[in-house]
Protein backbone atom coordinates (compact mmCIF):
# COMPACT_ATOMS: atom_id res chain seq x y z
CA UNK A 1 0.00 0.00 0.00
CA UNK A 2 1.57 3.24 -1.18
CA UNK A 3 0.08 5.58 1.44
CA UNK A 4 0.30 3.40 4.53
CA UNK A 5 0.15 5.40 7.80
CA UNK A 6 -0.30 8.70 5.94
CA UNK A 7 -2.97 11.21 7.01
CA UNK A 8 -4.79 13.07 4.24
CA UNK A 9 -7.24 15.97 4.15
CA UNK A 10 -9.56 16.12 1.14
CA UNK A 11 -12.03 18.98 0.63
CA UNK A 12 -15.14 18.61 -1.49
CA UNK A 13 -15.04 15.01 -0.32
CA UNK A 14 -18.71 14.05 -0.13
CA UNK A 15 -19.17 13.46 -3.86
CA UNK A 16 -17.50 12.97 -7.21
CA UNK A 17 -13.75 13.32 -7.57
CA UNK A 18 -13.19 14.13 -3.90
CA UNK A 19 -15.02 11.02 -2.73
CA UNK A 20 -13.16 8.84 -5.26
CA UNK A 21 -9.85 10.20 -3.94
CA UNK A 22 -10.86 9.41 -0.36
CA UNK A 23 -11.83 5.86 -1.33
CA UNK A 24 -8.56 5.27 -3.14
CA UNK A 25 -6.44 6.84 -0.40
CA UNK A 26 -8.05 4.56 2.19
CA UNK A 27 -7.48 1.56 -0.08
CA UNK A 28 -3.80 2.56 -0.22
CA UNK A 29 -3.51 2.63 3.59
CA UNK A 30 -4.15 6.29 4.42
CA UNK A 31 -6.45 7.74 7.03
CA UNK A 32 -8.60 10.47 5.53
CA UNK A 33 -10.30 13.57 6.88
CA UNK A 34 -13.22 14.29 4.57
CA UNK A 35 -14.29 17.94 4.40
CA UNK A 36 -17.45 19.30 2.78
CA UNK A 37 -20.57 21.38 3.40
CA UNK A 38 -22.91 18.49 2.50
CA UNK A 39 -23.00 17.12 6.04
CA UNK A 40 -25.48 14.29 5.52
CA UNK A 41 -23.60 12.84 2.55
CA UNK A 42 -20.17 13.47 4.05
CA UNK A 43 -21.01 11.80 7.34
CA UNK A 44 -22.57 8.82 5.57
CA UNK A 45 -19.53 8.31 3.34
CA UNK A 46 -17.09 8.65 6.24
CA UNK A 47 -19.08 6.06 8.17
CA UNK A 48 -18.95 3.73 5.15
CA UNK A 49 -15.17 4.05 5.11
CA UNK A 50 -15.22 3.08 8.79
CA UNK A 51 -12.41 4.02 11.16
CA UNK A 52 -10.11 5.14 8.37
CA UNK A 53 -12.17 8.28 7.68
CA UNK A 54 -13.46 11.26 9.66
CA UNK A 55 -15.95 13.82 8.35
CA UNK A 56 -15.56 17.52 9.24
CA UNK A 57 -17.83 20.32 8.06
CA UNK A 58 -15.69 22.96 6.38
CA UNK A 59 -16.35 26.17 4.46
CA UNK A 60 -13.08 26.39 2.54
CA UNK A 61 -13.45 30.12 1.92
CA UNK A 62 -13.32 30.85 5.65
CA UNK A 63 -9.94 30.70 7.39
CA UNK A 64 -11.34 29.80 10.80
CA UNK A 65 -13.25 26.89 9.28
CA UNK A 66 -10.13 25.61 7.52
CA UNK A 67 -8.06 25.97 10.69
CA UNK A 68 -10.69 23.94 12.53
CA UNK A 69 -10.47 21.27 9.82
CA UNK A 70 -6.70 20.89 10.17
CA UNK A 71 -6.91 20.96 13.97
CA UNK A 72 -9.48 18.15 13.92
CA UNK A 73 -7.23 16.10 11.63
CA UNK A 74 -4.32 16.48 14.04
CA UNK A 75 -6.56 15.76 17.04
CA UNK A 76 -7.89 12.58 15.45
CA UNK A 77 -4.83 11.21 13.67
CA UNK A 78 -1.83 13.10 15.04
CA UNK A 79 -0.55 14.79 11.88
CA UNK A 80 -1.24 15.87 8.28
CA UNK A 81 0.83 14.41 5.45
CA UNK A 82 -1.33 15.05 2.38
CA UNK A 83 -3.79 17.82 1.50
CA UNK A 84 -6.06 17.83 -1.53
CA UNK A 85 -7.90 21.17 -1.94
CA UNK A 86 -10.62 19.83 -4.23
CA UNK A 87 -13.78 21.76 -3.31
CA UNK A 88 -15.26 23.71 -6.20
CA UNK A 89 -18.43 25.35 -7.45
CA UNK A 90 -19.65 26.55 -10.85
CA UNK A 91 -21.63 29.59 -11.98
CA UNK A 92 -22.59 29.94 -15.65
CA UNK A 93 -23.65 32.88 -17.75
CA UNK A 94 -22.74 35.25 -20.56
CA UNK A 95 -19.72 37.43 -19.76
CA UNK A 96 -21.76 40.63 -20.00
CA UNK A 97 -24.31 39.30 -17.51
CA UNK A 98 -22.07 37.81 -14.80
CA UNK A 99 -22.88 39.31 -11.41
CA UNK A 100 -20.38 40.39 -8.80
CA UNK A 101 -21.96 37.86 -6.47
CA UNK A 102 -21.38 34.92 -8.83
CA UNK A 103 -17.83 36.00 -9.66
CA UNK A 104 -16.92 36.44 -5.99
CA UNK A 105 -18.59 33.17 -4.94
CA UNK A 106 -16.61 31.08 -7.42
CA UNK A 107 -13.26 32.70 -6.62
CA UNK A 108 -13.95 32.40 -2.90
CA UNK A 109 -14.29 28.61 -3.12
CA UNK A 110 -12.24 27.66 -6.17
CA UNK A 111 -9.20 29.89 -5.63
CA UNK A 112 -9.20 31.34 -2.13
CA UNK A 113 -10.36 27.96 -0.82
CA UNK A 114 -7.34 26.28 -2.41
CA UNK A 115 -5.02 28.93 -0.98
CA UNK A 116 -6.43 28.66 2.54
CA UNK A 117 -6.54 24.86 2.62
CA UNK A 118 -3.02 24.58 1.24
CA UNK A 119 -1.53 27.27 3.47
CA UNK A 120 -3.03 26.01 6.73
CA UNK A 121 -2.15 22.41 5.89
CA UNK A 122 1.39 23.42 4.90
CA UNK A 123 1.91 25.21 8.19
CA UNK A 124 1.00 21.99 9.99
CA UNK A 125 3.25 19.90 7.74
CA UNK A 126 6.17 22.27 8.29
CA UNK A 127 5.75 22.06 12.06
CA UNK A 128 5.90 18.27 12.20
CA UNK A 129 9.27 16.93 11.12
CA UNK A 130 11.64 16.88 8.14
CA UNK A 131 9.37 14.41 6.36
CA UNK A 132 7.36 17.32 4.98
CA UNK A 133 4.23 16.58 3.01
CA UNK A 134 2.34 16.73 -0.26
CA UNK A 135 -0.29 19.15 -1.54
CA UNK A 136 -2.37 18.30 -4.61
CA UNK A 137 -4.43 21.17 -5.99
CA UNK A 138 -7.44 20.29 -8.11
CA UNK A 139 -7.33 22.37 -11.26
CA UNK A 140 -8.88 21.79 -14.69
CA UNK A 141 -8.14 21.95 -18.40
CA UNK A 142 -9.70 25.40 -17.97
CA UNK A 143 -6.42 26.38 -16.35
CA UNK A 144 -5.31 26.68 -19.97
CA UNK A 145 -8.46 26.71 -22.11
CA UNK A 146 -11.24 29.29 -21.97
CA UNK A 147 -14.97 28.58 -22.08
CA UNK A 148 -16.84 31.92 -22.19
CA UNK A 149 -19.96 30.66 -20.41
CA UNK A 150 -18.00 29.89 -17.20
CA UNK A 151 -15.73 32.92 -16.89
CA UNK A 152 -15.34 32.91 -13.06
CA UNK A 153 -14.46 29.20 -13.09
CA UNK A 154 -11.85 29.71 -15.85
CA UNK A 155 -10.31 32.65 -14.01
CA UNK A 156 -10.15 30.68 -10.76
CA UNK A 157 -8.53 27.63 -12.36
CA UNK A 158 -5.97 29.85 -14.10
CA UNK A 159 -5.14 31.20 -10.67
CA UNK A 160 -4.82 27.68 -9.26
CA UNK A 161 -2.19 26.94 -11.91
CA UNK A 162 -0.05 29.87 -10.81
CA UNK A 163 -0.73 29.17 -7.14
CA UNK A 164 0.55 25.62 -7.62
CA UNK A 165 3.79 26.93 -9.11
CA UNK A 166 4.46 29.61 -6.52
CA UNK A 167 3.58 27.28 -3.64
CA UNK A 168 5.93 24.62 -4.97
CA UNK A 169 8.84 27.05 -5.03
CA UNK A 170 7.93 28.63 -1.69
CA UNK A 171 7.60 25.31 0.16
CA UNK A 172 10.41 23.26 -1.37
CA UNK A 173 12.78 24.03 1.52
CA UNK A 174 10.12 22.64 3.89
CA UNK A 175 10.18 19.35 1.97
CA UNK A 176 6.60 19.94 0.83
CA UNK A 177 5.83 19.05 -2.76
CA UNK A 178 2.96 20.83 -4.53
CA UNK A 179 1.37 19.66 -7.76
CA UNK A 180 -1.96 19.93 -9.51
CA UNK A 181 -4.37 17.70 -11.40
CA UNK A 182 -6.22 19.17 -14.37
CA UNK A 183 -9.18 16.98 -15.34
CA UNK A 184 -11.16 17.35 -18.52
CA UNK A 185 -14.75 16.14 -18.40
CA UNK A 186 -15.40 13.68 -15.57
CA UNK A 187 -18.41 11.40 -15.20
CA UNK A 188 -19.60 12.75 -11.87
CA UNK A 189 -23.26 12.81 -10.91
CA UNK A 190 -23.45 16.44 -12.09
CA UNK A 191 -22.07 15.41 -15.49
CA UNK A 192 -24.53 12.56 -15.80
CA UNK A 193 -27.50 14.75 -14.93
CA UNK A 194 -26.61 17.86 -16.94
CA UNK A 195 -24.46 16.65 -19.84
CA UNK A 196 -24.94 12.95 -20.48
CA UNK A 197 -28.70 13.44 -20.89
CA UNK A 198 -28.27 16.40 -23.26
CA UNK A 199 -27.41 15.08 -26.71
CA UNK A 200 -26.05 18.33 -28.14
CA UNK A 201 -24.01 19.17 -25.05
CA UNK A 202 -22.53 15.66 -24.93
CA UNK A 203 -21.68 15.79 -28.65
CA UNK A 204 -19.92 19.14 -28.19
CA UNK A 205 -17.78 17.80 -25.34
CA UNK A 206 -16.91 14.56 -27.12
CA UNK A 207 -15.95 16.49 -30.27
CA UNK A 208 -13.07 18.02 -28.35
CA UNK A 209 -12.13 14.85 -26.46
CA UNK A 210 -10.06 12.49 -28.63
CA UNK A 211 -10.72 9.50 -26.36
CA UNK A 212 -14.49 10.08 -26.91
CA UNK A 213 -15.51 9.55 -23.30
CA UNK A 214 -15.36 11.34 -19.99
CA UNK A 215 -12.97 10.24 -17.28
CA UNK A 216 -14.25 8.22 -14.37
CA UNK A 217 -13.62 9.78 -10.93
CA UNK A 218 -11.46 6.77 -10.08
CA UNK A 219 -9.10 7.70 -12.94
CA UNK A 220 -8.50 11.10 -11.36
CA UNK A 221 -8.03 9.43 -7.97
CA UNK A 222 -5.34 7.17 -9.43
CA UNK A 223 -3.30 10.23 -10.42
CA UNK A 224 -3.80 11.69 -6.95
CA UNK A 225 -2.35 8.51 -5.43
CA UNK A 226 0.68 8.79 -7.71
CA UNK A 227 1.26 12.43 -6.76
CA UNK A 228 0.79 11.68 -3.06
CA UNK A 229 3.19 8.73 -3.07
CA UNK A 230 7.00 8.48 -3.19
CA UNK A 231 6.63 7.44 -6.85
CA UNK A 232 6.46 11.18 -7.67
CA UNK A 233 9.23 12.22 -5.29
CA UNK A 234 11.04 14.42 -7.86
CA UNK A 235 7.94 16.18 -9.20
CA UNK A 236 6.81 19.57 -7.88
CA UNK A 237 5.18 22.64 -9.40
CA UNK A 238 3.51 20.64 -12.16
CA UNK A 239 -0.08 20.11 -13.27
CA UNK A 240 -0.93 16.74 -14.77
CA UNK A 241 -3.80 17.08 -17.23
CA UNK A 242 -6.08 14.04 -17.20
CA UNK A 243 -8.17 15.06 -20.18
CA UNK A 244 -8.44 12.24 -22.73
CA UNK A 245 -6.27 14.23 -25.15
CA UNK A 246 -8.26 17.48 -25.05
CA UNK A 247 -5.37 19.90 -24.72
CA UNK A 248 -3.34 18.52 -27.67
CA UNK A 249 -6.39 18.55 -29.98
CA UNK A 250 -6.71 22.34 -30.18
CA UNK A 251 -9.78 22.32 -32.45
CA UNK A 252 -13.28 20.92 -32.75
CA UNK A 253 -14.71 19.10 -35.73
Does residue 234 have an active-site annotation? no
Secondary structure (DSSP) of the chain = -TTTT-EEEEES-SSHHHHHHHHHHHHTT-EEEEEES-HHHHHHHHHHTGGGEEEEE--TT-HHHHHHHHHHHHHHHS---EEE----------GGG--HHHHHHHHIIIIIHHHHHHHHHHHHHHHH-TT-EEEEEE--GGGTS--GGGHHHHHHHHHHHHHHHHHHHHHGGGTEEEEEEEE-SB--HHHHHHTTT-HHHHHHHHHT-TTSSPBPHHHHHHHHHHHHSGGGTT--S-EEEESTTHHHH-S--
Of the listed 55, 153, 234, 251, which one is catalytic?
153
Enumerate the active-site residues: 153
Amino acid sequence: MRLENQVAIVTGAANGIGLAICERFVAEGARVVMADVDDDKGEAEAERLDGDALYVHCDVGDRASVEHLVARAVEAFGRVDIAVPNAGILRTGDFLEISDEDFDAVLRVNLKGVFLTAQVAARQMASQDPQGGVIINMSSTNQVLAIPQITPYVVAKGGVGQLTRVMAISLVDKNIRVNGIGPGSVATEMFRQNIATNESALAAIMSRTPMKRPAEPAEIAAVAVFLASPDSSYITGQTIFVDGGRLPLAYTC
